[in-house]
């Protein structure tokens, strides 16, 4: 059984002006997401600035989210690291806090061979009793999880059940689904190609767009899976200019700016990320307004 079908939000981590995590605001955002039909909350991923959270903050965000969601939708925790032992530690702690699944990114900076990736993910999976969703985002990690490697993991590790694919390589993703014989839950990691990945057998998206447009992102997937392919595609294409503006600078700079423009008060990004360039912010504002969103 899939961890979830539909749209999972790669939720931002709101900060106060002093850069402390704003848990009250996080709770408000979670409530908004659930009310708007989001199918899963993904906490402490790339969009959540996990790379600049301390381990204590990371785990407290997970604990808080599990408690706030209270089983209304699945909670998936990002627990990846370029250090296998750190990933195991975070994964075990997340399991203790009651998450429903883990999202584990490929090792970054030190990378790994494909043999090393098999060893890395197997060790993490063996340390917990939770379903694991692999996360392939070579543009950020410099490490590409190849289709044959995924097929090996799916066939040899029982609790590796899904993959968030953010390589944007449609040919690679098609090969992945062919080699795994469709026995993996495929989630788009790119908001601009949700429909193409669904057409390859995908069952959802783990989305940045969902932070600002949760209902619409849910509907893209729901329409497709319900057989309304044209309705799904029309919505995907309608939102494409906004999606593109949400990635005009490195994520999550634009999405946090968008949420602040919409009055959600999620605060700043942590260094080394910096505030959005004025010209890019103006473009983002125009695309939000063109898509029908109220701004302040």
Q: Could you write out the DSSP letters of every residue in 160-224?
A: EEEEEE-S--HHHHHHHHHHTTT-SEEEES-GGGHHHHHHTT--EEEESGGGT-HHHHHHHHHHH
Could you tell me the CA-to-CA distances from 70 to 24, 65, 73, 213, 249 in Å, in that order? Answer: 16, 8, 8, 23, 34
The four Cα atoms 164, 165, 166, 171 give a dihedral, to 10 degrees, of -170
Bin 182: left if φ > 0, else alpha if -120 < ψ < 50, else beta.
Answer: left
Measured CA to CA, the distance from residue 214 to residue 221 in angstroms comes to 11
User: Up-side HSE of residue 34: CA atoms within 13 Å toward CB?
Assistant: 16
Q: How far apart are CA 255 and CA 157, in angstroms?
A: 35
- With contact defined as beta carbons under 8 Å apart, do 68 and 35 qualify? no
Q: Of the listed 68, 164, 256, 257, which one is catalytic?
A: 164
Does 64 qualify as catalytic in the annotation? no
Q: Give the integer Cα–Cα distance in Å for 208 and 188.
A: 11
The verdict on whether 164 is a catalytic residue reads yes
What phi and psi values does residue 241 have, to the nearest 5 degrees? Answer: -60, -40
Given 135, 187, 223, 257, which residue is catalytic? 135
Give yes or no for a contact between 40 and 74, defined as CB atoms under 8 angstroms apart: yes
202 vs 183: CA distance, rounded Å: 11
Furthest-apart CA pair in the chain: how many Å?
52
- Which residues are the active-site residues? 135, 164
């Amino acid at each position: 059984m899939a961890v979830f079908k539909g749209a999972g939000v790669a939720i931002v981590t709101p900060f106060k002006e002093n850069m402390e995590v704003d848990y009250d605001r996080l709770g408000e955002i979670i409530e908004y997401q659930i009310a708007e039909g989001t199918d899963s909350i993904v906490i402490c991923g790339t969009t959540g600035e996990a790379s600049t959270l301390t381990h204590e903050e990371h785990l407290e965000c997970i604990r808080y989210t599990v408690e706030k969601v209270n089983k209304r939708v699945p909670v998936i925790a990002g627990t990846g690291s370029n250090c296998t032992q750190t990933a195991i530690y975070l994964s075990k702690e997340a399991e203790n806090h009651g998450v429903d699944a883990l999202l584990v990114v490929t090792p970054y900076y030190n990378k790994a061979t494909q043999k090393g990736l098999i060893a890395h993910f197997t060790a993490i999976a063996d340390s917990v009793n939770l379903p694991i969703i692999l996360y392939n985002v070579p543009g950020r990690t410099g490490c590409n999880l190849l289709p044959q490697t995924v097929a090996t993991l799916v066939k040899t590790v029982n609790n590796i059940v899904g993959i968030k694919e953010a390589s944007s390589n449609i040919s690679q993703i098609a090969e992945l689904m062919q080699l795994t014989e469709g026995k993996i839950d495929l989630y788009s990691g790119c908001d601009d190609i949700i429909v193409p990945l669904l057409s390859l057998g995908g069952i959802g998206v783990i989305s940045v767009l969902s932070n600002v447009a949760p209902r619409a992102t849910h509907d893209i997937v729901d329409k497709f899976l319900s057989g309304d392919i044209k309705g799904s595609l029309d919505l995907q294409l309608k939102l494409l200019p906004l999606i593109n503006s949400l990635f005009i600078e490195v994520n999550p700079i634009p999405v946090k700016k968008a949420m602040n423009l919409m009055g959600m008060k999620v605060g700043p990004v942590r260094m080394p990320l910096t505030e959005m360039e004025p010209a890019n912010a103006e473009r983002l504002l125009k695309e939000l307004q063109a898509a029908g969103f109220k701004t302040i």
